[in-house]
Amino acid sequence: MFIIAGAPGAMHDITLAKLHVDRMKLWLGRDNYIIADLGYQGLQHDLKVLIPVKKPKGEQLTVTQKAYNTIISSQRIIVENFFGRMVNTFAFSKNIYKSCDTAYVPITKLVYALTNFHILNHPLRQEDISHEIYQDREYEFTWMQDVFQQEE
């Protein structure tokens, strides 16, 4: 998970992501993708991003597009689960931080790190105990990406 701590809450996710494209490219490497929601529409021009297909106005999505969106959503939910774990484990992340500005970023990074550590010892799902699941997910994405591109 690529995390940027300390950005103003009013800044849109896509704006923040575009400001950090170069760092994200280094972080991703050549063979990895970002899984994002429709709020990141347009980022795929700068990075390898898997984003659900937006339904065109007045039209329906194809069966393949719906299947692709289902796979993306089923993988993205892990991010929501991470934030849920963080908020429920660390009270700091539930509230608006009103203390010293210089302490916010290091404390936020510490909370993310502690959440990761907590998840290593108490996985979000039973299936996450085995790393084989990640290989299966990677295959699913590759297959769906190929099918989707052929359909265009």
Q: What residues are paired with 34 via a beta bridge?
A: 49
Closest by CA to 137, choosing from 83, 77, 85, is 77
Same domain for 131 and 72? yes
pLDDT value at residue 78: 83
Structural domain harbouring 92: 54-151
Same domain for 99 and 139? yes
pLDDT value at residue 65: 93
- Answer with the one of 51, 69, 93 that is the final residue of a domain: 51
pLDDT tens-digit map of 51-95:
899 998 999 999 999 999 999 988 888 888 888 888 888 876 666
Same domain for 6 and 58? no
d(CA 27, CA 43): 15
Same domain for 41 and 69? no
Same domain for 40 and 11? yes
Same domain for 136 and 118? yes
Domain count, the chain: 2
Same domain for 96 and 29? no
Residues (pLDDT < 70) of the chain are 1-10, 92-100, 126-152
Three-state DSSP state, 93: helix
pTM assigned to the model: 0.62
pLDDT value at residue 108: 80
pLDDT value at residue 104: 75
Residue 68 contacts residue 143 (beta carbons within 8 Å): no
CB count in 10 Å sphere of residue 43: 19
For the chain, the maximum distance between any two Cα atoms, rounded to a whole number of angstroms, is: 53
Same domain for 82 and 113? yes
d(CA 107, CA 88): 16
Same domain for 80 and 129? yes
Same domain for 38 and 68? no
Same domain for 45 and 99? no
Same domain for 111 and 77? yes
pLDDT value at residue 133: 47
